[in-house]
Amino acid sequence: MQQFNIGKPDDEIRSCLQEKIDSLTKPKGSLGVLEDLAMQIGWVQQSLNPRLTNPCHIVFAGDHGIAAEGVSLSPQEVTYQMILNFQAGGAGINFLARQHGFDLKVVDAGVNFDFKEGDPVLNRKIRKSTRNYLHEAAMTREEMELAIQYGAGCVQTCYDEGCNVIGFGEMGITNTSSSSLWMACLAGIPLDRCTGAGCDHTGNIVSHKYKVLKQAMENYRGDASVEDFMRYFGGYEMVMAVGAMLKAAELKMMVLVDGFIMTNCMLAASKLNENVLHYSIFGHQGDEAGHKLALDYLKAKPLLHLGLRLGEGTGALCAYPVVDSAVRMINEMNSFKEIKVTKYF
């Protein structure tokens, strides 16, 4: 599988960053999370004047064979229908991308649909839907490796266009099921605590969903490696997101992490290279069962708690203004040295 050279940023600059943050015209620590973010971004960029440039958001889309088992109330065709909605500019992620100035890219990782030539969707289709992991692995080792490469390649394109802050989202009916299995396998959290309602706001599907996923885990006969759990229970869009996260960290980009599914993709990425977490900003804690547990496992502190569970990367983009404020704080506030204000802390 493709390897990524992700280093921990040099700690030497941290004391200078802290001194600059503490010298701004405010009581020490009074801007809370903004100060933490400014420290993180300055540390990653190795700069006392960090910048966010050409923000980009990638939505990876793919279908899942497990949908045949009725683990979602939404039919599989919703995946491709929502991509058409993305293309028309009418989805949740569209208005947020417009609002916050993000370049939005939509990637067909494995949708069970033939898009027309010329449609504004990047074709990285590996296969029309994964296989049904109740009975067999969702994908082959070769398909998983290709998905990693495709995800990394998408990020390289954004980086070449001047992007240094990137968000990721997903579209794929039943991908909360795959995320629950990744979480249970990779974090060792009991499956029943990882399994939620997904897009079913009534919660009626949870019992059946859990029974199917439990049986899928019992049927698993792999080698229990991170890579094998990813390929056996994953979606092409999820594996591409893992490759994208790892590549973004290798390129020293800031990674905006969305909700339950993308948090579990970050979980998988961190199991492959723990240094990816230094580059990650967790946008929000959603309502999907298990999301808080996954965040707690990663020792992640989400910026927002808005009751979101849409996916698409909407929570990551909602959090972006907070990240932008942190960078503006360290760059635009006066220091006590620059203006005649008595230090009041």
Residue ranges of the domains in the chain? Answer: 56-328
> Which pLDDT tens digit goes with each residue over 15-57?
999 999 999 999 999 999 999 999 999 999 999 999 999 999 9
> Which pLDDT tens digit goes with each residue over 230-273?
999 999 999 999 999 999 999 999 999 999 999 999 999 999 99
Q: Is the pLDDT of residue 199 over 70?
A: no
Identified catalytic residue from 35, 69, 312, 332? 312
Reply yes or no on whether 312 is catalytic.
Answer: yes
* Mean pLDDT taken over the chain: 95
Confidence of residue 200 (pLDDT cuts 50, 70, 90): low
Q: Which class is 56-328 in CATH?
A: alpha beta
| Angle at which helices 314-332 and 32-45 cross, to 10° | 80
pTM score of the predicted model: 0.96
- What is the residue-wise DSSP string for 295-339? HHHTT---SB-------TTHHHHHHHHHHHHHHHHHHHSPBTTTS
Strands (DSSP E) found in 96-217? 103-110, 122-123, 165-171
